[in-house]
Structure 1
Amino acid sequence: MRNKMNWPTTLTINAWTGPQGQPSAPLDPHQAASWAVKGKLQEIPRLLAAPEPADLRDWFDAAVGWGLVLPENEGVSEKDRALALDAPEPIRELVAARNQAPVFRYRKDLNNRFLRRYYVDHSPRDIAVSGSPRGTGDQCLPRYLLIYGTPGEVSWSLQYVLNNAAFVGRIDLTGDGLKRYIDALLNNWAEAACRPEQPVVWAVDHGHPDITWLMRGAIATPIAKKLAEDNQIGDNLRSLAGADATSQSLSRTLKDRRPALIVTTSHGMTGPLNNPTLMAQQLGWLVDHDYALLDPAALLSEWQPDGAVWYAHACCSAGSDDQSGYLGLVAEGSTVAETLAAVAGLGARVAPLPRLLLGAEKPLRAFIGQVEPTFDWTLRQPETGQVLTASLQNAVYNRMHRKRPEPVGLAFEECYRHVGELLSQWNQALRQVARGIEGAELAALRTQLTALDRQSMVILGDPTACLPPL
């Protein structure tokens, strides 16, 4: 029953006392009113639900985090290794400026499954690449990782594995080039003169069936279309394709336009096969419409990157490894087999173009390129002809050109996610091969080939670098 003021006369609780039954009590309105206005609740967090996930663009958030990966160095103390005191001065400055960021060490005996972290105040720990909590805390793996070292010191294979777990970049610079890059990074390219509203797309096209025709159609053209449809870019886009894609036209356009984004698709130089010294000097140089080479030193004599980001889809544009993942794919003596063997003979290295651009007087922010060649099968579905570059298009335009642009490492994370998807399909195909299912071998070939292609795309430069907003 309730009285005339609508106060309940009795309160009952959902307890059970046994013989006495359900506990209840009469309620005095005056007593209850006095109780009602006296705070009895404990203070609780404003958010009763789980905390909102961190914004992955905020690498300085401890829940996201940035860390450094260095080669193991048993010649210095564990404390010095924890503080990166064996690294060049610009790298030490970067670690200190980023709140004494965590430093990890690459060791071959950890088989790319762990990174070793040393501490000032306790023994080292091996941090799992897969499954570790994220951020900069103890036993955590930061979302953003910068590798400092040559691919001979910190393997490409580690970078491939880390790309599936974090947003990863690499710097392979020394001396003045390293200092210039780190100074620009710490200053966030504040004085850069590159123009985000004036991107340049350069696409060599030697016609079907040359793979440049496919790269233009699958990569350059759709990216150019997205950029041209942006109302802050529009006609400011400069697209050079086909016969217009010469080294001279690219050099001239970069000098005149000062773009913040450069996208190029072409063959990458991997010759002459019988002259490894010259081959190393020209490794990954872009090959233009007239089969002339884009000489990085000549380019830099006329133009400075000044904070630009360059995506170069060309064989070995990022470098080479001492063994190709495609070993045994094609017949010995074929031009593909001979090229793969000759490139592997150069060893693990970063290509000249990105090294010169990142260490330039006014450095590039980031370079995205390949360590292995791209096969025509990897750019489109052979059964249907469907182009398979949507995530790449999204990375270069949708994600890097947001109102608040995503860092380059984050922007390309979907591209690397495909590696895991494709290897899962490959494992399924292997089971189907064992059961004798028709077409399973072809599916295994396509999925593994495409996974290796996606895996060998790497970011050079710090993964937190991002385009200036439009």
Structure 2
Amino acid sequence: MTAESAPAYPSELRVNAWTGGETAAGPLGPRARGWALSGHGRALPQLLAPEEEADPADWRDPRVGWGLVLPDDDALPDDVKARGDDAPEPLRELLAARSGSPVLRYRTETELRFTHLRRYYTDRSVQDIALSGPERGTGVGALPRYLLLYGGPDVIPWDFQYLANQSAAVGRLTLTGVGLENYVTALLGNWPGSAARPTHTVVWAADHGPADITRVMRTAIAARVQRSLAGDSEIGAHARYLDGGQHQATAAALYQALGDHHPALVVTTSHGKTGPLTDPAAMVRDLGLPVDDEYSIVDPARVLDAWQPDGAIWYAHACCSAGSDGSTIYAGLLEAGSWVDQVLTGIAGIGAHVAPLPEALLGAPRPLRAFIGHVEPTFDWTIQNPHTGQKLTTSICRGLYDGLFRPAPVGLALREPYSHVGELFAQRDSAYRAFDEGADSAGVAMATTLAARDRQSMVVLGDPTVGVPPLPSRAR
């Protein structure tokens, strides 16, 4: 602004206040110049404009945050619970390294276990923090956007992880001893010297024919993810595809591909082992192991003989690939005594467990970063619309490619699939209302409930802040 255009020092000012008489105006007082220049030479004040939103991928930002969730124990003093002194030593090291991260407690009371986590503070104050609607981050009364549950589903139920996934990026660890040390050491160092190549991937898809659900999983998930990976200019020909449609999806071929290829991402679609139903010990031992084209299982010991995961991420779409629960969310769905009903009842009968494959890979000397799997079986209606034939897996495929290779933490990469749970339950409620009004909407209620339950039971094992190593272009 030039001197000619600068506003002249005023002799009077008008104000937009009216008392019912004359328009308000008045001369400046003798101290007006000092008022205008008060604070001259000091820093400008902080203006009350909205601050930039936090990057949801930056869990280190206190407005985003990471927290450790442990089972509560009323026998412990509150300050011990606030610090997490009852956690295993590796987790205490993780808390120390992630300074300022809260320890939250899972409570079993009916009024809390579905909706809240409890936080104890070192000043001995206590607060119950809602899963839905609180401030976000690591501050007082806030819920971190990333949560690591520590404990098996017998102490922090799968149901709670399903619920927490709606509002946070959630992972779970159940490792103990050397396995836990291996994982936390790798996590703290961000997998130093990792052999996992971000430009190399392995997709393995069993296919037992057109009448089997493995065909639908191969086309709806594996083949779609493979197309994205093979079409990436930096991955391209390094996207290895073991296609069950070509009889390539054997356990032996998977072991060799993992050992030769050192992939950063592994995607498998198949049946998961859930039998024999008459031998509960064998069911627990082999729970959820991928079943190949020849009906042989993928053996965790043989996987680790051929390959150290060393910072890879594995997605396994198979029944019980993540574990089992002591009851099924599909209770009452199938005809009592039918084969599938016997399978669901048999799985529930072995109780709540984490499956052996993720447990072995996450606790290996050079461990996996994260395992994404399912606690319940997948039905054909949950991945392909029965009325239109439309595939319902787009967000899962996008999360595995667009999300992880953006790169985003695994918990953030899967936000869209989890967001469908609320959408599907809202559609189911509309179908309920229509049914009450006389419409034949039971089929819609069935399809939406099945799909919602399926997305619910997809879980992350491992820390939700991890992601695949960045592609060379992203690393630069």
Q: Same fold (TM over 0.5)?
A: yes
Query: Hey, what does 1:279 align to over in structure 2?
Result: 283
- Helix, strand or coil: the match of 2:320? coil
User: Quick one: distance in 2 between partners of 1:319 and 1:192?
Assistant: 27
- What per-residue deviation string (whole Å, max 9, x for no partner) do you get for residues 256-297 of structure 1? 000000001011000111111111100101000111111111
User: Quick one: distance in 1 between partners of 2:214 and 2:370?
Assistant: 23
- Helix, strand or coil: the match of 2:23? coil
CA spacing shift, 1:83–1:238, aligned 2, 3 Å: same
Shift in Å, 1:213: 0.6
Query: Hey, what does 2:413 align to over in structure 1?
Result: 411
**Aligned residues between the structures:** 462
Shift in Å, 1:457: 0.3
- What per-residue deviation string (whole Å, max 9, x for no partner) do you get for residues 178-199 of structure 1? 0000000011112211101011
Shift in Å, 1:431: 1.2
> What are the residue-to-residue correspondences of 1:316-465 with 2, within 5 Å?
316-402=320-406, 405-438=407-440, 440-465=441-466
* TM-score where L is the length of structure 1: 0.93
Gaps of at least 5 residues in structure 2 are 472-476
Shift in Å, 1:430: 1.2
> What are the residue-to-residue correspondences of 1:8-19 with 2, within 5 Å?
12-16=14-18, 18-19=20-21
- What per-residue deviation string (whole Å, max 9, x for no partner) do you get for residues 402-457 of structure 1? 1xx1100011011111111111111111111111112x111111111111000000
Query: Hey, what does 1:216 align to over in structure 2?
Result: 218
1:262 paired to 2:266: yes
Query: Hey, what does 2:173 align to over in structure 1?
Result: 171
Shift in Å, 1:54: 0.3
Query: Hey, what does 1:85 align to over in structure 2?
Result: 85
Q: Is the CA contact 1:16–1:23 (under 8 Å) kept in the aligned structure 2?
A: no
Shift in Å, 1:111: 2.7
> What are the residue-to-residue correspondences of 1:47-58 with 2, within 5 Å?
49-58=49-58
Letter in 1 for 2:301: A
Deviates more, 1:381-390 or 1:284-293: 381-390
Deviates more, 1:253-262 or 1:16-25: 16-25
CA spacing shift, 1:40–1:327, aligned 2, 3 Å: same
1:63 paired to 2:70: no
User: Quick one: distance in 2 between partners of 1:333 and 1:222?
Assistant: 36
CA spacing shift, 1:448–1:47, aligned 2, 3 Å: farther
Letter in 1 for 2:452: A
Deviates more, 1:243-252 or 1:187-196: 187-196
CA spacing shift, 1:71–1:32, aligned 2, 3 Å: closer
User: Quick one: distance in 2 between partners of 1:119 and 1:14?
Assistant: 51
Gaps of at least 5 residues in structure 1 are none
Q: Is the CA contact 1:17–1:23 (under 8 Å) kept in the aligned structure 2?
A: no
Please, what is the CA RMSD of the aligned residues? Answer: 2.3
Query: Hey, what does 2:474 align to over in structure 1?
Result: none
CA spacing shift, 1:122–1:230, aligned 2, 3 Å: same
Shift in Å, 1:10: 7.1
CA spacing shift, 1:158–1:34, aligned 2, 3 Å: closer
Q: Is the CA contact 1:228–1:237 (under 8 Å) kept in the aligned structure 2?
A: yes
Candidates 136, 141, 144, aligned match of 1:142: 144
Letter in 2 for 1:164: Q
Shift in Å, 1:12: 3.7
Deviates more, 1:39-48 or 1:228-237: 39-48
Letter in 1 for 2:90: P
Q: Is the CA contact 2:105–2:117 (under 8 Å) kept in the aligned structure 1?
A: yes
User: Quick one: distance in 2 between partners of 1:152 and 1:275?
Assistant: 21
1:161 paired to 2:169: no
User: Quick one: distance in 2 between partners of 1:171 and 1:44?
Assistant: 48
Shift in Å, 1:228: 0.9
Q: Is the CA contact 1:15–1:23 (under 8 Å) kept in the aligned structure 2?
A: no
Identical aligned pairs, as a percentage? 53
Query: Hey, what does 2:228 align to over in structure 1?
Result: 226
Shift in Å, 1:41: 11
* TM-score where L is the length of structure 2: 0.92
Flag as ranges the 4+ runs of structure 1 deviating above 6 A.
31-43
Q: Is the CA contact 1:315–1:372 (under 8 Å) kept in the aligned structure 2?
A: yes
Deviates more, 1:69-78 or 1:412-421: 69-78
CA spacing shift, 1:297–1:36, aligned 2, 3 Å: same
CA spacing shift, 1:22–1:76, aligned 2, 3 Å: closer
Shift in Å, 1:299: 1.3
> What are the residue-to-residue correspondences of 1:161-200 with 2, within 5 Å?
161-200=163-202
1:290 paired to 2:294: yes
Q: Is the CA contact 1:145–1:168 (under 8 Å) kept in the aligned structure 2?
A: yes
User: Quick one: distance in 1 between partners of 2:24 and 2:79?
Assistant: 65
